[in-house]
Structure 1
Amino acid sequence: MKSGVLRDLAVGAVLVALLLVLPILFPKPALRDFLIYVMAYGLLAMSLNLLVGLTGLVSFGHAAFFASGAYMFGLLMQSGTVGIPVAMLATVGGTAVLALVIGAICVRLKEIYFSFITLAFQMFIHSIILTWVSLTGGDQGLRGGIPRPPFLGIDLNDAMTLYVFCVVVFILCIAIMRQVWRSPFGFTLRMIRDNPTRANFLGADVVRVKLGIFVLAGSMASVGGVLLALFVSGAYPEFGFWTTSGEAIFMIMLGGSQLFIGPVIGAVLLRLLDHFVTIYTDHHGLVLGAVILVIVLGLRQGVADYIVDWLERRRETRAAAASVASEKGAA
């Protein structure tokens, strides 16, 4: 356990250093913008994977919490009554309450029924965003931008400072989810995913555990919404549309659901594909869909999961070959 924590700290330090050095080596603003998008949507995908990969709950409506994070934060900042740290904490807390209310209904259902009721709640929230024009701005999004007043000597109006802030928040959220992934709670979720009847027989409160991870996943998704709202200085209805949840599922499919960092890799791949496909063809949806189908049907798992399995097979093959060679030498 201690070695695992130390390894996680080392990997986290390397990741922070890499994310901070990249904009220095390649100072064009486009790279910073791309990485902030990846971090925001990466949190959406990784939080969804707490449900999909860890618990076996496929949510079609996870972007509702992504949008709630963006809108709650934006409205709090536009009120001018709180600073950025307080607004972020209030947003995460408010989204957690929203996830608790929705999850209390959803987690009692199984498989496809769970998936579709989460989609129904997302479309309900999206409808509220569109129709409550006086509060949300309707289909135009929040009007007037999102203020970024300095706090603790940090001015997020500076592009590089905003980028560093996003990196720190992103890594903190990744660290929280990593601890959940490796914790006894995480192994309880895996047991529920594999055999909920046995988990219940062994004393796990299946509904309560599912509700707990649903609330945590919604809270983490809201942080991704906050980062994106800060970056674009606004919140828009498409943040909570069903296609945004679909993108998160695509990221998990591309990167892999069994490797912890897989959804972030999927977010990078999807954003790169989206960028280059848009540049070279007008048939964006057709080409992107075909590429995703080739990867998913060809590899039958995410890219990261495939690479890990391939390396493991190579290691086992080499170990078997070395064992046979040593036996022959001994003979």
Structure 2
Amino acid sequence: MNTKTTYGKEILWALLALAVLAAIPFLTPSRVVLDFVIRLAAFGIFATSLNILIGYGGLVSFGHAMFFGGGAYAFGLLMQKAGTSIPVAMLGAILFCALLGLVIGAICVRLKEIYFSFLTLAFAMLLHSVILTWMSLTGGDQGLMGGIPRPIFLGIDLSKPISLYGFACVVGIVSLLLMRGLMQSPFGYTLRMVRDNAERARFLGIDVWRVKLYAFIIASSFAGIAGSIMALFVSGAYPEFAYWTMSGEAIFMIMMGGLHVFIGPVVGAALLLIFNDLVTRFTELHGLALGIIVLVFALGFKRGISDFVVQFLRTLKNKRATP
């Protein structure tokens, strides 16, 4: 099966997913469900963008939240200060995160393993400190004050919950489809080759540093999209978006959902959001409870749940095929 045929099927799956999401508001009037899907769109993109580095590139970043937070602040400031339209502000957030990823990635991807991880963490903490101290621009620890305007564009009024829901769904599905296409492209397979054996890839004439840098920029840009959706949802941007714990949550989503199945991080994001909502409702020790849940997943499945399911189905298929 060629790549075009495979990608055509994935587009059909994406359209089917959009159709299902479009039906949800007609099936339930609950605002809680709509808000959950909007948050899932943001965190699903965020976790999947991080998995471009971890799952496909073998680069474990502890500072990916800097792009999530950076995208949220860039989007919010463009809307508040410059009065741009929503598409222009989102494009500006993407460009800001891509440029930030270019500068930081050019330094970080030269390093290996734990050094790469902790340098990304250091840069994330630096950006978080800038957000806290530059109060005249960012609002400090109070975040962007005054809300984010939602002017009508192309007849779409995002001040209406149902319109915001539809916008988040479309942006989420399109972003996932684009990331899937990139990872199934020659670049994606080159990135896997670099992950598996960088020396062999270098011997074949591949510029390993450049491939890793491109992956870093791509992941940063999509994290900026996720931050923009979250800024629209909460009508603001807050320092917590760029804090290191946000990167940790994305890593938990990948661990719970799966590294090796593309949709795994989205599954993990849904699980973590559900568990977080349930735990915070029933106990104040939500940190401890979530830690235990993640530990159960790590020890029980020994991989993300989507990886576990795919491996189980393959094993079952092989047993049936064996005479």
TM-score by length of 1: 0.96
Please give the per-residue CA displacement for 1:154-200, whole angstroms capped at 9, x wherever unaligned.
Answer: 11111101110111111111111000111111011111111000010
Distance 1:57 1:173 in 2: 21
Counterpart of 1:304 in structure 2 is 306
Q: Partner of 2:122 in structure 1?
A: 120
Structure 1 position 47 matched with structure 2 position 45: no
CA distance in structure 2 between the partners assigned to 1:211 and 1:59 by the alignment: 13
The residue that corresponds to 2:271 in the other structure is 269
Q: Secondary structure at the match of 2:22?
A: helix
Q: CA deviation at 1:80?
A: 4.1
1:282 positional shift: 2.0
Report the AA paired with residue 60 of structure 1.
Answer: F
Pair 1:218-2:223 in alignment: no
SS at 2:154's partner residue? coil
Identity of aligned residues (%): 56
The one-letter code sitting in structure 2 at the alignment partner of 1:241 is Y
Among 260, 263, 272, the residue aligned to 2:262:
260
Root mean square deviation of aligned Cα? 0.8
Deviation at 1:23, TM superposition (A): 2.1
Q: Does 1:26 align with 2:28?
A: yes
Q: In the aligned structure 2, how far is the partner of 1:116 from the partner of 1:2?
A: 39
Query: Structure 1 residue 283: deviation in Å?
Result: 1.7
Unaligned runs of at least 5 residues, structure 1: 325-331
Stretches of 4+ aligned residues off by more than 3 angstroms: none
Verify: 1:207 aligned to 2:206, yes or no. Answer: no
Whole-angstrom distance in 1 between the partners of 2:111 and 2:82: 41
TM-score, length-scaled by structure 2: 0.98
Partner of 2:193: 191
Matches within 5 A, 1:281-292: 281-292=283-294
How many angstroms does 1:88 deviate by? 1.0
CA distance in 2, matches of 1:111, 1:23: 45
Partner of 1:295: 297
Give distance in 1, aligned partners of 2:301 and 2:155. 49
Question: In the alignment, residue 287 of structure 1 is paired with which amino acid?
Answer: A
Q: 1:1-331 to 2 correspondence within 5 Å?
A: 1-320=3-322, 324=323
Other structure's SS at 2:68 match: helix
* C-alpha distance in 2 between matches for 1:62 and 1:202: 30
How far is the alpha carbon of 1:2 from its aligned partner? Answer: 2.8
Q: What SS does structure 1 have at the residue aligned with 2:146?
A: coil
Q: How far apart are the structure 2 equivalents of 1:157 and 1:261? A: 30
Q: Give, in whole Å, the separation in 1 of the partners of 2:239 and 2:4.
A: 44
What residue identity is the alignment partner of 1:262? G
Rounded to whole Å, the distance in 2 between the matches of 1:153 and 1:121 is 40
Structure 2 unpaired stretches of 5+: none
* C-alpha displacement of 1:81: 3.4
Q: Which amino acid aligns with 2:109?
A: V
**1:153 and 1:287 mapped to 2: Cα distance?**
44
1:256 is displaced (CA, Å) by 0.2
Q: Larger C-alpha radius of gyration, 1 or 2? A: 1
Output the amino acid matched with 1:191: M
Per-residue CA shift, 1:118-170, capped at 9, x if unaligned? Answer: 00000000000000000000000000000001111111111101110111111
Change (3 A) 1:154 1:111: same
1:265-291 deviation digits (Å, cap 9, x = unpaired): 000000011111112222211111111
- Whichever residue aligns with residue 139 of structure 1, its letter is D
Helix, strand or coil at the partner of 2:136: helix
Tell me, in whole angstroms, the C-alpha distance in 1 between the residues paired with 2:297 and 2:156. 42
SS at 1:43's partner residue?
helix
- Between the aligned partners of 2:18 and 2:183, the Cα distance in structure 1 is 20
Provide Cα deviations, 1:71-116, integer angstroms capped at 9, x if missing partner: 0010010024321111111111111011100000000000000000
Whole-Å Cα distance in 2 between the matches of residues 234 and 85 of structure 1?
17
CA distance, structure 1, for counterparts of residue 191 and residue 29 of structure 2: 42
